[in-house]
Structure 1
Amino acid sequence: MKRIFVYSLLLVASSLLAQAQTFKFDFSSDKKEQEGFTKITPSILFNNDSGYGYDFQPAWDGKSNAPFFFSVNVPDGNYRVTVTLGSKDSAGSTTVRGESRRLFIENLDTKKGELVTETFTINKRNTVIKGNQKVKIKEREKKKLNWDDKLTLEFNGDAPRLSSLVIERVDKVPTVFLCGNSTVVDNDNEPWASWGQMITRFFTDKVCIANYAESGLSANTFIGGKRLDKLLTQMKKGDYLLIEFGHNDQKQKGPGKGAYYSFSYYIKQFIDEARLKGAYPVLVTPTRRRQYDKNGKIKDTHADYPAAIRDIAVRENIPVIDLQDMTKVLCETMGVEESKHLYVHYPANTYSGQTQELKDNTHFNTFGAYEVAKCVIEGMKKANLPIVKDLKADYANFDPAKPDKFKNFKWNLSPFTEIEKPDGN
């Protein structure tokens, strides 16, 4: 009898925990809220006592076309988000991003009275590893939405319309962990972007992307900052670890440094740790810098680091996604002038507070990040990674020799900008 009682208590506790990790919010104009949902009105602003509400920007009144944010306090982990977009009162066009500007739903149009339900899976984390151990984030990261206790969603687009939102904890989907530098990182602010925050757009809710990259990092400083330690607390059997370094590693000089010395040693640590968890390590060569020779060909600027990555992949018998080659094709196809549309090249006064021209040949803008994300997916397909079966139905095969047209790329700006360029080059 005592055992049955204890077992019953455990079942109740488990049920309560599951309920605590499922949130249902009703944003519709209906006066009567949906059963089991919490009605959200413009007066509900985020605070830690309630643990949910409109955040950062003014609250949405159901009619405004301005972007808005909604945050919910949740424990670390993966969450399936179900959004019902549209309104019975007006037509809409909605883009949904999460945390630090990860793209999930792109320019979804709805007619007046039409409701469309979409789902995606998002990873949330904070800096705590265990006990007093924490990730050593940079000063510029302390305001990043990736590293707090909240799961934050951005609703943008020409006319964002949200009817309902459901957030529920999921533990069994494979997670793709990203390790890298400024060419991989989730950027919070316009006009900067990287492939790690765009690749989320192309997968169904059966895959979760967790981006731990940060600007200025090399393989050893990523490990030294305890990012790998934190990542491993969430990693499980069947997950993936994508590793892209080289940009900043090549600047390290001195005894024992170099592509075939310290760099290879640290890359091996990533591989070994992933394998111990039953996860699949995948190497990624660095993206090209936009530097052309007099013949309009992209220069090799990463020394022997790409070759070292390929050699490690062969030696360890693991896949390699060759962004070094694919971004070379992409840049040479577009040419010297057109390729500026891939990187952060903007005349003065394009963005608020930008008094000087932005001219960066390493870091991508949103269009460039979108194109490189497609290159990564093509690399996944070439490597026969099982997760490619969970690409969205609207993903079309991509050839970097036939890039998308920049003029056809539509991106509604997030309300936050930053003139300072990311660390690293």
Structure 2
Amino acid sequence: MRKLVCTLGLLLCASTFYTQAQVYKFDFTSDKKVKEGYTKVTSETLFNEEQGYGYDLQPAWDGKSNQPFFFSVNVPDGNYKVTVTLGSKDSAGNTTVRAESRRLFIENLPTKKGETLVESFTVNKRNMYINGKQKVKIKPREKNKLNWDEKLTLEFNGDAPRITSLVIERTDKVPTIFLCGNSTVVDYDNEPWAAWGQMFPRWFTDGIAIANYAESGESANTFIGAGRLKKALTQMKKGDYLFMEFGHNDQKQKGPGKGAFYSFMYNLKIYIDEARSRGAYPVLVTPTQRRRFDKNGKIMNTHLDYPDAIRWLAEKENVPLIDLNEISRTLYEAMGEDGSKHAFVHYPANTYPGQTKELKDNSHSNTFGAYELAKCIIEGMKKADLDAVKFLKKDYKGFNPARPDRFEDFKWNLCPFTEIDKPDGN
């Protein structure tokens, strides 16, 4: 009996500790008195595995500097509501908050001296482990990606980033939109690359999470083969969504049984069936256009019959469709052949450190292009009448791809890391 009581006591203590560990509170102020229940953060609070939290990747913030900084906390896989109190009693601020691999959540939020504003959003965190024996087969270039480690990492950027407190708490009940796709969807860690999946969270409240599993170079079948879909399914629950945007790389596959209406359809059907078996909602997305114009200033079709195959499958399986292929055609034609360069990775030599040659990429978006495409996806969601649009923030005013935002009005503070190598896929 005594042994049983001791065992139950240990289990209860472990359970209590685990529950408490799902809420993390940090005080960034210079006040000597620490808020009750909070952990004081100073410039000496540097991340290490034993401690499990602290300033990471870049030099610590001293409370006054205008340089970007990162703060990481070790947490189990899942969705976390992040509440930040931004601002300072000592100075005015302008803060942008991104999470994990440059997922945008708070954009250029100004605060006056002495003013603080409280904002919340939900972040999905994952590692590469599927179960005790299996893990996702990530690529060598992904080994240092913030999306695949044990930490939830926050980037505080902007003209003058200011924070007074941070609360991270586990939340299991919010719906999640899982994104599956390639380099046109993925979260990029480094400038100047970007994709719509990492800009997408900017427009949603903390009532929903976005989990971007996309990776450069993936096709519908290789995504499955690498265990990416299987990993996503370990977190998926009833009421979630599974968005699929493939086609860019699938169209390059040749051989018996390959093709838009053959192997491609078969693989997409696996995604649909797996989502539905868990009570989640599959959503098909046609591939975004490449920047290729004809002599009349019209976007040329470069995806063969893959967009039509997706449209056919959506109708046959009664799956909602976001026709990004058509929406992005409207977007780029409205920008024009020259103006659309501002939406892609087109930069003269020496724009970024180590960049000795011109960057000229007509497949991959920069931050502005990704920002515009994220709005295109939202408009597609609205047209498809997806219930998830009820979680849009009040400051989302709608978007007409025929009238894009002005590139000159777009403000993006660069993260400290750049990469010159082109992403996988084209």
Partner of 2:195: 194
Partner of 2:135: 134
AA aligned to 1:335 is: G
**Is 1:414 aligned to residue 403 of structure 2?**
no
Whole-Å separation in 2 of the counterparts to 1:15 and 1:116: 32
SS of the residue aligned with 2:310? helix
Poorly superposed stretches of 4+, deviation over 6 Å: 1-11
**Is 1:292 aligned to residue 293 of structure 2?**
yes
AA aligned to 1:71 is: S
Partner of 1:350: 351
Partner of 2:162: 161
Whole-Å separation in 2 of the counterparts to 1:256 and 1:11: 56
Partner of 1:147: 148
AA aligned to 1:252 is: Q
Whole-Å separation in 2 of the counterparts to 1:158 and 1:230: 37
CA pair 11-392 structure 1, distance change in 2 beyond 3 A:
farther
**Is 1:283 aligned to residue 284 of structure 2?**
yes
AA aligned to 1:184 is: V
SS of the residue aligned with 1:345? strand
* Aligned 1:102-121 pairs, distance under 5 A: 102-121=103-122
AA aligned to 1:47 is: N
Whole-Å separation in 2 of the counterparts to 1:202 and 1:11: 40
Whole-Å separation in 2 of the counterparts to 1:400 and 1:45: 44
Whole-Å separation in 1 of the counterparts to 2:288 and 2:177: 19
**Is 1:403 aligned to residue 401 of structure 2?**
no
Give CA deviations for 1:5-55 in whole Å, capped at 9, x if unaligned: 999887665443221111000001111111110000001110000000000
Whole-Å separation in 1 of the counterparts to 2:244 and 2:5: 48
C-alpha deviation, 1:246, in angstroms: 0.1
AA aligned to 2:142 is: E
Whole-Å separation in 1 of the counterparts to 2:82 and 2:373: 25
Partner of 1:253: 254
Partner of 2:236: 235
Partner of 1:221: 222
AA aligned to 1:250 is: Q
Whole-Å separation in 2 of the counterparts to 1:184 and 1:393: 24
C-alpha deviation, 1:132, in angstroms: 2.0
Give CA deviations for 1:139-159 in whole Å, capped at 9, x if unaligned: 000010000000000000000
Whole-Å separation in 2 of the counterparts to 1:236 and 1:10: 27
Whole-Å separation in 2 of the counterparts to 1:66 and 1:230: 35
Whole-Å separation in 2 of the counterparts to 1:5 and 1:53: 35
C-alpha deviation, 1:4, in angstroms: 11
Whole-Å separation in 1 of the counterparts to 2:42 and 2:133: 38
SS of the residue aligned with 1:360? strand
**Is 1:77 aligned to residue 74 of structure 2?**
no
AA aligned to 1:232 is: L
Partner of 1:37: 38
Partner of 1:99: 100
C-alpha deviation, 1:227, in angstroms: 0.4
Whole-Å separation in 2 of the counterparts to 1:250 and 1:186: 22
Whole-Å separation in 1 of the counterparts to 2:398 and 2:19: 39
Partner of 1:67: 68
Partner of 2:311: 310
C-alpha deviation, 1:313, in angstroms: 0.3
CA pair 350-82 structure 1, distance change in 2 beyond 3 A:
same
C-alpha deviation, 1:69, in angstroms: 0.2
Whole-Å separation in 1 of the counterparts to 2:15 and 2:317: 41
**Is 1:369 aligned to residue 370 of structure 2?**
yes
Whole-Å separation in 1 of the counterparts to 2:46 and 2:403: 46
SS of the residue aligned with 2:304? coil
AA aligned to 1:257 is: K
TM-score, length of structure 2 as denominator length = 0.98
Partner of 2:391: 390
CA pair 40-243 structure 1, distance change in 2 beyond 3 A:
same
SS of the residue aligned with 1:130? coil
**Is 1:27 aligned to residue 33 of structure 2?**
no
CA pair 107-8 structure 1, distance change in 2 beyond 3 A:
same
Whole-Å separation in 2 of the counterparts to 1:204 and 1:6: 42
Identity %: 73
Unaligned runs of 5+ in 1: none
